[in-house]
Amino acid sequence: MPTPASAGRWLTLADGVHARRYTELDQTLGLVVGSERALVVDTGRDEEHGAEFAAAIADLTLLPTVVVITHAHFDHCLGTVAFPGADVWAHERCQVDEHVFVERAEYYPGAPEPPLVAPTHRVRDMVELDLGGRTVRLVHPGRGHTDHDLAVYVPDAKVLFAGDLVEQGADPSIGPDSFPQQWPSALDELLQLDATIIVPGHGEPVDRAFVAWQRDRISAGST
């Protein structure tokens, strides 16, 4: 069973740009605050985790929230029920359905299945969202960790939330729905963005040199 979600801690990356770190799964979720809305980057592994994250966000801002799902693996999307009424953005191939429970059962056998929340808005290649005084860019750089990875770029802060295209605490997770031969090209696309802080889906924030190093390791087949 999951450990208590209260283990989260905030990292402030720039003015109004935060990452929340969790011991469980070494996971990192994100928050970008504008003057009118706050954007939530992934929602956690289950209803309890999502509720903890939502409560922690409420300590920082009471603005309406918009959710972005970087990809449809259970630890990134099953907490969305904790953000009722929020617009939920994802790539057009992202399927938040019963298949996410299969992967979750491998980690947490017998754990209850939280309600599913499907995306309400779809991205093909790129979409810009106005949060009020701050624009964020949702970018699909190509196939990599999945065929529907979505990154969140905050140009004014030079921060990039990369989802599981980048992992810091362990080697990138290459699963049956991954595309390791195309993954390096996806990372090259991310490196075209003028980001100096890259937030992985798991692990601590990294710099551009780390992403280039991880790209080269994936290209060499050494992960």
C-beta of residue 44 within 8 angstroms of C-beta of residue 20: no
Element (H, E) at 190: helix 183-191
Instruction: Report the 10 Å Cβ neighbour count for 62.
Output: 9
pLDDT given at position 61: 98
Per DSSP, the residues of 10-23 read EEEEETTEEEEE-S
Full residue range of the structural domain in which residue 125 is found: 5-220
| CATH classification at residue 122 | 3.60.15.10
Residue 138 host element (H or E): strand 135-139
Q: Residue 212, SS3?
A: helix
Predicted local distance difference test score (pLDDT) of residue 7: 76
Burial category of 124 from C-beta neighbours within 10 Å (exposed 0-12, middle 13-18, buried 19 and up): exposed
User: Which residue, chain included where needed, has tokens 């992985």?
Assistant: 200
* Cα–Cα distance for residue pair 55/44, rounded to 1 Å: 13
pLDDT in tens, 113-161: 999 999 999 999 999 999 999 999 999 999 999 999 999 999 999 999 9
Write down the pLDDT at residue 167.
Answer: 98
Low-confidence ranges of the chain (pLDDT < 50): 1-5
H/E stretch holding 80: none
CB count in 10 Å sphere of residue 210: 16
- Give the residues across from 137 on adjacent strands: 128, 153
- Which amino acid makes up residue 165? L
pLDDT of amino acid 223: 67
- The per-residue pLDDT for 222 is 65
Q: Which residues of 17-43 are buried (b: 16+ CB within 10 A; e: fewer)?
A: bbbbbbebbbbbbbbbbbeebbbbbbb
Using CA atoms, how far apart are residues 168 and 153, in angstroms rounded to an integer? 18
Identify the H or E element spanning 188. Answer: helix 183-191
**Total count of residues recorded for the chain:** 223
CB 73 within 8 A of CB 102: no
Count of domains in the chain? 1
Pairing of strands 87-91, 28-33: unpaired
Cβ-based neighbour number of residue 143 at 10 Å: 19
